[in-house]
Amino acid sequence: MKENEIIILGLDTTSKECSLCIVSNNKVLTEYRFISDNNLSSRIIEILDFVLKGVNLTIEDIDVYGVGIGPGIFTGIRVGMTTVKGLVFGRRTQVIPVSALDAMATNYKKNNSPIVSIVDAKRGQVYISVCEYSKKNDDFSIIYEPSLISILNIENILDKNQKYIFVGSGVTNNIELLKDIFTKSDCFVDSKFLAYQVAQIAYKEFKAGNGETNIERVNPLYIRRTDAEENYERDNKKGKK
């Protein structure tokens, strides 16, 4: 490794479009994309080992882990975070938690409009956040905190006369609705593979001194309760009747 070289592993398993990226400072060394299945937990370490060998690195060479914490698929989020926790156990390696909504916005720094990141949450709902990029601070400011909403209520949250940049998986199934309501806005259906964007954010946060060495402080961003939690509450209510 070169002097002052920071090796970052970006991992995103918040959707079925999973990805893993190795970055040296801000330069991509390699990226691996794959579609997850029911064997994600057993495959992820094998894939990581394959990717590291491809660039002649080992786990010991990783200085920072950037991990997607959601929102998205509960199982994928858990697998990603459990994997990182296992990799840093007993080490002082820094971990940067990254919201998938923030990762989606990173490609749109050059736009002057607010960026609306949307992740499909099924059941007619979406995870949403709104941010705005400041060239002065070279950073995003949150206008609307990550939330779970009905897609039909989006016009009650956003100004239909404002120009927005809509990005993310939630745009795909709702593009006509968004175009009809927000006629001044642009809609982009980005790649859902976010490991590189996760690594970019992780590098910036690391440089700002925001790395976390206590993995127990790194928590998932579920927003909506898991199906197991909802089923448990429903069953309890039935039992009390």
Q: What does pTM read for this prediction?
A: 0.91
- Each residue of 17-28: pLDDT tens digit? 999 999 999 899
| CA distance readout (Å), 158 to 66, 92, 162, 167, 183 | 30, 42, 8, 15, 12
Nearest of 177, 85, 164, 87 to residue 131 by alpha carbon: 164
DSSP state of 226: P
Burial class (CB in 10 A: 0-12, 13-18, 19+), 63: middle
- Average pLDDT of the segment spanning 186-197: 90
- pLDDT reading at 237 higher than 60: no
Q: Where are the domains of the chain?
A: 7-99+193-230, 101-188
74-84 mean pLDDT = 96
- Return the pLDDT at 226: 54
Domains 7-99+193-230 and 101-188 share a fold: yes
For the beta sheet containing 94-98, the strands, ordered from the edge strand earlier in sequence to the opposite edge, are 27-35, 17-24, 7-12, 64-68, 94-98
Query: Residue 105 class from Cβ within 10 Å (0-12 exposed, 13-18 middle, 19+ buried)?
Result: buried
Give the whole-angstrom CA distance, residue 174 versus residue 169: 9
- Please answer whether residues 143 and 150 qualify as being in contact, where contact means their C-beta atoms are separated by less than 8 angstroms: no
Instruction: Answer whether 103's CB lies under 8 Å from 12's CB.
Output: yes
pLDDT of residue 86: 94
Say what the pLDDT of residue 104 is. 94
Quick one: 3 exposed, middle or buried, by C-beta within 10 A (0-12, 13-18, 19+)?
Answer: exposed
220 pLDDT higher than 90: yes
The topology (CATH level 3) of 7-99+193-230 is Nucleotidyltransferase; domain 5 (3.30.420)
Cβ atoms within 10 Å, residue 212: 15
* CATH number for the segment(s) 101-188: 3.30.420.40
Stretch among 74-78, 98-102, 108-112 having the lowest mean pLDDT: 108-112
Residue 198 CB partners (closer than 8 Å, separation 6+):
10, 11, 12, 21, 66, 67, 68, 98, 103
The tens digit of pLDDT for each residue in 121-172 reads 999 999 999 999 988 888 899 999 999 999 999 999 999 999 999 999 899 8
